[in-house]
Amino acid sequence: MIHRAVLFLALALGLGTQLTSATEVMVNNTEGKLCLYANLKVNFSVAYEAVGDKNATAVFSLPDAVLTNGSACANSSSTLRLGFGQGHSWTMTFSKGAQSYQADSVTVDLNLADAAVFPNATSNETMSVTVNVNATSLSKADLGTCYSCNSQDVIRDGGVSQTLWSVLIQAFVANGSKSQEMTSCAADVPITPSPAPTNTSTTAAPTTAVAPTTTPIPTPALPTPTTGNYHVTTGVNGTACLMADFGLSIGFKIQGQLQKMNLEPNGTSASGTCGVNSSQLVLSNPSATLVFTFVNETAKFRLHAVTVNITTGSGQQFYSENTNLSLWAASVGSSYMCNKEQSYNLSESLALHTVALRVQPFAVASGKFSTAHECSMDDTTALIPIIVGCALTGLILIVVVAYIIGRRKTYVGYQTL
Ligand SMILES: *[C@@H]1O[C@H](CO)[C@@H](O)[C@H](O)[C@H]1NC(C)=O
Ligand SMILES: *[C@@H]1O[C@H](CO)[C@@H](O)[C@H](O)[C@H]1NC(C)=O
Ligand SMILES: *[C@@H]1O[C@H](CO)[C@@H](O)[C@H](O)[C@H]1NC(C)=O
Ligand SMILES: *[C@@H]1O[C@H](CO)[C@@H](O)[C@H](O)[C@H]1NC(C)=O
Ligand SMILES: *[C@@H]1O[C@H](CO)[C@@H](O)[C@H](O)[C@H]1NC(C)=O
Ligand SMILES: *[C@@H]1O[C@H](CO)[C@@H](O)[C@H](O)[C@H]1NC(C)=O
Ligand SMILES: *[C@@H]1O[C@H](CO)[C@@H](O)[C@H](O)[C@H]1NC(C)=O
Ligand SMILES: *[C@@H]1O[C@H](CO)[C@@H](O)[C@H](O)[C@H]1NC(C)=O
Ligand SMILES: *[C@@H]1O[C@H](CO)[C@@H](O)[C@H](O)[C@H]1NC(C)=O
Ligand SMILES: *[C@@H]1O[C@H](CO)[C@@H](O)[C@H](O)[C@H]1NC(C)=O
Ligand SMILES: *[C@@H]1O[C@H](CO)[C@@H](O)[C@H](O)[C@H]1NC(C)=O
Ligand SMILES: *[C@@H]1O[C@H](CO)[C@@H](O)[C@H](O)[C@H]1NC(C)=O
């Protein structure tokens, strides 16, 4: 039993490490600057002829360690060549358009003489299969963005079946650094849930007023955004009158394609205004400008409006706003805090995701946050005493019931004697 448990644990751990592994490569151009980035997982299933007129199937994964010899970047086309094992390779070619780039072909070269992968193969030659993915599932990505696809994509041709997933690729990297923006593949873009059919029955439970925040949105496939400390200051000495700390990631749709970007605090400047009934925080960097408008009504504040302007790496413009919000509410003189990741769908085409949020748009005293009003999501700690309390009550009840039953039994016992 113990042995089995240990074996199971070992298997689970082994599987775990296998599942978390990925192949990550960076290709530099002739100037030594990053020009092609790839992080992906590929599984292969290859049919081949084995001795004795048998058909055999080899199943293997692209290893983590690969060689990039043969990869190259040019102005309008690039080649990613990943060499692995005993003379095998996987090659993807890319071409560049005016505003986008795309994968054109995938070539798999397999050395059938590698008995470890192809045992008993009749041939000792290299089998080569090229698939034109020009206009297929591997969709286009905007220039200056990473192509991201967490979904599985299966390419089948010439007896070779390739499953690609957890793909993050950027070809034609500009200025030597990978973009923070993404073009997600169609398979990853969520289907917006169609509104539920209106319930004609009047006895239906009253639907709670739904803020524009509750629709589920996919968690971004980006690293957790870095928390920024954004302050609006007044006066010559620059005392803070509005403070906002958060990590922000923005999901936006351009022409139906979902893109995501993290707001990098480094390089993002904060400005704005502080008023009696309204305050504004303006965050801007070369690719995005966000305006958060807070209002003070009856000594309570809330986030009332958000407008977002984005210029993508390929020069496309995005603009969206929601001027009818009621988020991050607390009393003036306190701050609003929410550590957990929160997702807000602000419009059909715009979603914000925040982490480690703390804001105080009014009445900031001596550059410090006042007492925090925490969002309900963080209130799970309050549940623990309740759970403990309930458990204790239950225990006491059981003891009391057991005592009563025990007493009755004893009583009955004495009676019969
Ligand atoms: C690519 O360039 C980076 C610096 O830009 C360097 O650290 C890295 O070693 C280079 N990689 C190769 C394979 O030359
Ligand atoms: C890829 O292959 C590994 C081992 O061969 C397997 O555990 C894993 O489930 C496969 N993943 C996919 C998505 O096919
Ligand atoms: C092997 O596969 C080929 C084509 O896929 C087929 O024609 C042949 O009959 C198969 N041979 C055996 C022994 O299954
Ligand atoms: C591939 O590159 C590595 C170093 O980058 C080198 O040691 C190796 O010989 C190269 N292999 C081939 C087949 O060119
Ligand atoms: C590539 O682009 C650079 C700068 O845009 C240019 O100087 C160079 O001639 C181009 N090379 C080719 C082969 O087109
Ligand atoms: C195929 O290879 C296995 C070992 O990988 C060996 O045991 C078996 O005898 C081989 N079959 C034939 C028909 O050669
Ligand atoms: C490949 O196989 C052929 C015949 O099947 C043989 O003559 C040749 O020597 C083999 N080559 C290698 C490199 O094993
Ligand atoms: C790739 O697609 C474009 C149009 O989408 C087409 O003009 C071109 O011929 C295709 N290339 C190949 C190799 O099929
Ligand atoms: C600015 O700071 C100096 C000294 O720290 C102080 O004397 C002055 O009153 C301050 N001015 C304002 C407008 O707060
Ligand atoms: C922020 O930018 C500075 C200079 O622009 C750089 O030295 C620093 O490493 C950057 N920090 C991060 C976390 O990117
Ligand atoms: C907020 O509004 C109330 C009136 O509703 C006002 O008394 C208070 O001074 C305002 N707070 C700030 C910080 O301006
Ligand atoms: C944002 O875009 C809107 C509409 O295109 C435009 O009116 C506004 O001036 C832009 N704001 C900024 C700060 O770029």
What are the residues whose beta carbons fall under 8 Å from the beta carbon of 284, sequence distance 6 or more?
A: 268, 269, 271, 290
Choose one of 309, 317, 347 to mutate for the ligand 12 pocket test, by most ligand atoms within 8 angstroms of C-beta.
309
Q: Does the CB atom of residue 69 touch ligand 4 within 6 A?
A: yes
SS3 407: helix
Domains in the chain: ranges and CATH: 5-188 (2.40.160.110), 228-374 (2.40.160.110)
Q: Does the CB atom of residue 135 touch ligand 8 within 6 A?
A: yes
Of all protein residues, whose CA lies closest to atom 1 belonging to ligand 7?
A: 124
Taking the whole predicted model, whether its pTM rises above 0.85 is answered as no
Per-residue pLDDT, 190: 56
Per-residue pLDDT, 366: 87
Ordered DSSP codes for 316-364 = -EEEEEE----EEEEEBTBEEEE-S-EEEEEETTEEEEEEEEEEE-S--
Q: Does the CB atom of residue 55 touch ligand 3 within 6 A?
A: yes
> pLDDT digit of tens for each residue in the chain (417 aa)?
334 433 333 333 333 334 447 899 999 998 999 999 999 999 999 999 999 888 999 999 999 999 999 999 998 999 999 999 999 999 999 999 888 899 999 999 999 999 999 999 999 999 999 988 865 556 688 899 999 888 788 888 888 999 898 899 999 998 888 888 888 877 776 544 333 333 333 333 333 333 333 333 344 456 788 999 999 988 767 789 999 999 999 999 888 888 888 898 988 999 988 888 999 999 998 889 999 999 999 999 999 999 999 988 777 889 999 999 999 999 999 999 999 889 999 998 999 999 999 999 999 988 899 999 998 755 554 555 555 565 667 777 777 777 777 776 655 544 444
Report CA(347)–ligand 11 centroid distance (Å): 30
Element (DSSP H or E) covering residue 74 = none
Burial group, residue 99, by CB count within 10 angstroms (0-12, 13-18, 19+): middle
The Cα 338–Cα 354 span in angstroms is: 9
Q: Give the chain's length.
A: 417
Report CA(53)–ligand 3 centroid distance (Å): 8
Please name the residue that has the structure tokens 């010899």. Answer: 69
Report CA(59)–ligand 6 centroid distance (Å): 17
Please check whether residue 262 is in contact with residue 145, taking contact to mean a CB–CB distance below 8 angstroms.
no
Q: Does the CB atom of residue 331 touch ligand 11 within 6 A?
A: no
Report CA(125)–ligand 11 centroid distance (Å): 81
Of all protein residues, whose CA lies closest to atom 5 belonging to ligand 1?
A: 33
Report CA(76)–ligand 5 centroid distance (Å): 9
Report CA(120)–ligand 6 centroid distance (Å): 6
Ligand 3 atom at minimum distance from 54 CA: 13
